[in-house]
Amino acid sequence: MKANIDIFKKWMHYQIISNALWQYEEYDNKIVITYHDCKAEIHVYGDIIEESIKKNEENIFYLFYSFNDYAHGKKMFNVFIEYLSHQKQKKTHKILLSCSGGMTTSFFKTRMMEYLSLRHLHYEIDAAAVEDIDYIADQYDLILIAPQVRYSLSHIKQIAPQCHVEPIDPTVFASYNCTKLYEQIAAFYKMK
């Protein structure tokens, strides 16, 4: 079996070096691949192969298997490589939540960031008072305003023509419903 695993390691090596986008380092029983903000590692322990991918130091993929035959090994390796290949750096979507003083939207922002983090969704959300929007609007794609400042919707659209501006539904805002707010955000980016 040792000869077979050595041949398979060589095969993996040639698969990895054939991709010019990857930077890699090779050691006796370990291959390290760097791709965008990901670090992927393949460890070989006897006939056990361990594959892992970290993105920004967070584990996003982990698989280990016993190398029994080439077909199974190749299938597992290809799953790993395909997953890594899809981990391009994504443009961060920037959203501003705004209310009269910025306090309730700051709380909602904290809840939303937890919600998004648990689902591995990449959005940047900030909160600010409505009076500060004209100074910071150019940093955002989407501005969502709280029900209590809905009266300022047309004014915000005038001072921030490069941004899409929408009100947050009163029920969503009052209940801090992260799922519904995420649906509103996702719908905007889907249209875009």
Structural domain span for residue 61:
2-85
Residues with Cβ < 8 Å from 146, sequence gap 6 or more? Answer: 97, 98, 99, 100, 104, 105, 167, 168, 173
Same domain, 112 and 133: yes
Q: What is the CATH number of the domain that holds 122?
A: 3.40.50.2300
Same domain, 117 and 54: no
- What is the domain count for the chain? 2
Can you give the pTM of this predicted structure? 0.57
Same domain, 69 and 102: no
Same domain, 97 and 187: yes
Same domain, 81 and 116: no
Question: With contact defined as beta carbons under 8 Å apart, do 49 and 42 qualify?
Answer: yes
Same domain, 81 and 148: no
Residue by residue, pLDDT tens for the chain (192 residues) are 555 888 998 899 889 888 878 899 999 899 999 988 889 999 999 999 999 999 888 899 999 999 988 899 999 999 999 889 888 756 678 999 999 999 999 999 999 999 998 887 888 999 999 999 999 999 999 999 999 999 999 999 999 999 999 999 999 999 999 999 999 999 998 876
Same domain, 100 and 30: no
